[in-house]
Chain A
């Protein structure tokens, strides 16, 4: 069992390395950038879904967590990581290995700091509900942005330039898979049912012995951690960070993905992240009316499928099988 799992993981990693080798060489850079952004958006949407969709805590501060992760990891690689590469290479032999070690530790550091911020934001969420919580998290996101804007060490209003470009397709896909697997496994455990019960009925959840306070903060911490990682990937891909990338509009974009994909559906978030990363690019054909069309599509989608593309359901190969099985039964 464990052995099979390890083989499977090695196969997946091998596949990712192959993809990482071939795709950038064959694909045009514009499409490649969209691909990277899709990966990052999937991480963001799935991690926000844990907070908004599964635990039912409406947060508009996801861009704030992303900013913390992005700037922290960029700060680390910019000031320490780069200087560490030669000395680490002498131990680990390969420069790429040294860079990878530095990059991953930078991402984890960024994620951890974002998680810490999640812990701090999670605390008001114990008292606030619904719209009130949304506004509080919105305020939090803006505070983070303005604070970063005033730190000169990370470029202040000029933006943070010359971040080493460590992000490649491998790391994006790798962390995307990690996010999806971790959150999926968490949801399908006793912890996951606790998250869901908080969303469904807090009073009943408490009466069933679930510490709702703990689980709300827990959701914020895990969600923020992955948002932080996404921020790190984002910064090391563009090699430049500016606080304008982390305004509340960014949070709203992620919320759109979560809501339209289906609050409480991981596969829905993934699909929506793909669609809503591609869509604005696709709509470039209508030029000036691009955002009008975009908004129109949102309105139409909300009117026709208010519960999101997948609602609360997950899409899997099993669902397809079930549809066919049911049809057969009906036919009989």
Chain B
């Protein structure tokens, strides 16, 4: 039984077919790369899985639950976390509060216990802070916990976004260009970190990435999209040699 199953899924915006008849599945514990030229429909696919858009046709099933028509927050509560291509942190909140906010799903603080500051509330709040600090430590942000999120350098903002997504305790993590705008050194660090986090938290990861070194280096399987259609799928070595992929990226060879 696959963790996530996408069955002949389509997303049309008027006449534009952003995703067309896509079939895809993710097994538990996989690290799958999603690549394709600009405008291939990669982020649209993420938005379909996380419920930002409702698919025009087809269905998406996560752990036997149908995701079609579910709200993003419900889908997150089923165990799908995500990051965004253009960083969407809570800019004015502190680094720690960003992560704490994402712990919301697993917090049992009631309105009255919050207002009355009951003992249970204090315990709950401490536990939440502890869990958040733990995540910040893993992502190397623990010393910056009081800093405003918008004051962080770009690379650390990306890290914080992943830490925040982790706070929702996902089973499946969707990363949208996690290393975009990073230098080679930062990219290497983050790639290692993603692998480590995946192992420690028994995650399944689907990531969109343009940096081929990252994709070829850490993904076990790659799915290639072009104009909303899946054109290839397989291990990195196979994808590298696939004529259709080469054509999509470099154009047709002259004969």
A1-B119, A189-B125 known; A204+B76 contact, CB < 8 A = no
Q: Of B52, B93, B104, B165, which one neighbours A190 at CB under 8 angstroms?
A: B104
A15 to chain B, nearest CB (A): 20
List the A residue with the shortest CB-CB distance to B91: A200
Decide if B73 touches A211 in the complex (CB within 8 Å).
yes
Q: Of B72, B114, B168, which one neighbours A185 at CB under 8 angstroms?
A: B114
Decide if B90 touches A190 in the complex (CB within 8 Å).
no
Q: Which residues of A contact B105 (CB under 8 A)?
A: 208-209
A-B complex: 6 closest residue pairs judged by Cβ atoms? A189-B114, A200-B90, A209-B76, A206-B72, A209-B105, A204-B88
Decide if B109 touches A204 in the complex (CB within 8 Å).
no
A190-B107, A197-B101 known; A204+B114 contact, CB < 8 A = no
Q: List 30 A-B contacts (CB under 8 A).
A: A181-B115, A182-B115, A189-B109, A189-B114, A189-B121, A190-B109, A191-B111, A192-B114, A193-B104, A197-B93, A197-B101, A200-B89, A201-B88, A201-B91, A203-B88, A204-B84, A204-B88, A205-B90, A206-B52, A206-B76, A207-B50, A207-B52, A207-B81, A207-B88, A208-B101, A208-B105, A208-B164, A209-B73, A211-B73, A312-B92
CB under 8 Å from chain B, chain A span 110-142: none
Q: Which residues of B contact A194 (CB under 8 A)?
A: 101, 104
A248 to chain B, nearest CB (A): 29
Q: Is A161 an interface residue (CB 8 A)?
A: no
B4 to chain A, nearest CB (A): 16
Q: Is A210 an interface residue (CB 8 A)?
A: yes
Report B's interface with A, CB cutoff 8 A. Answer: 50, 52, 71-73, 76-77, 81-82, 84, 88-93, 97, 100-105, 107, 109, 111, 114-117, 119, 121, 125, 128, 164-165, 167-168
Decide if B72 touches A207 in the complex (CB within 8 Å).
yes
Choose among B52, B72, B84, B93 the residue with the greatest number of A CB atoms under 10 Å from its CB.
Answer: B72
Decide if B76 touches A190 in the complex (CB within 8 Å).
no
* A192 to B97 CA separation, bound complex (whole angstroms): 11
Contacts A5-B117, A208-B101 supplied; 5 other A-B pairs, CB < 8 Å: A2-B119, A189-B109, A190-B107, A208-B76, A209-B168
B149 to chain A, nearest CB (A): 9
Q: Is A93 an interface residue (CB 8 A)?
A: no
* A209 to B103 CA separation, bound complex (whole angstroms): 9
Q: Which residues of B contact A201 (CB under 8 A)?
A: 88-91
Q: Which residues of A contact B168 (CB under 8 A)?
A: 208-209
B152 to chain A, nearest CB (A): 15
Q: Which residues of A contact B81 (CB under 8 A)?
A: 207
A1-B119, A204-B89 known; A191+B114 contact, CB < 8 A = yes
* A191 to B72 CA separation, bound complex (whole angstroms): 18
Q: Which residues of A contact B92 (CB under 8 A)?
A: 196, 200, 264, 312
CB under 8 Å from chain B, chain A span 164-205: 181-182, 185-186, 189-194, 196-197, 200-201, 203-205
Q: Is A212 an interface residue (CB 8 A)?
A: yes
Decide if A212 touches B73 in the complex (CB within 8 Å).
yes
Decide if A193 touches B164 in the complex (CB within 8 Å).
no
A189-B121, A191-B109, A191-B111 known; A206+B104 contact, CB < 8 A = no
Q: Which residues of B contact A264 (CB under 8 A)?
A: 92
B72 to chain A, nearest CB (A): 4
A196 to chain B, nearest CB (A): 6
List the A residue with the shortest CB-CB distance to B119: A1
Q: Which residues of B contact A189 (CB under 8 A)?
A: 109, 114, 121, 125
* A168 to B100 CA separation, bound complex (whole angstroms): 42
* A1 to B117 CA separation, bound complex (whole angstroms): 11
List the A residue with the shortest CB-CB distance to B109: A190
Choose among A189, A201, A206, A312 the residue with the greatest number of B CB atoms under 10 Å from its CB.
Answer: A189
* A181 to B116 CA separation, bound complex (whole angstroms): 9
A91 to chain B, nearest CB (A): 29
Decide if A186 touches B164 in the complex (CB within 8 Å).
no
Q: Which residues of B contact A203 (CB under 8 A)?
A: 52, 72, 84, 88
Q: Which residues of B contact A211 (CB under 8 A)?
A: 71, 73
Q: Of A196, A209, A212, which one neighbours B90 at CB under 8 angstroms?
A: A196
* A182 to B73 CA separation, bound complex (whole angstroms): 26
List the B residue with the shortest CB-CB distance to A189: B114
A194-B101, A312-B92 known; A206+B71 contact, CB < 8 A = yes
Decide if A190 touches B77 in the complex (CB within 8 Å).
no
Q: Which residues of A contact B109 (CB under 8 A)?
A: 189-191
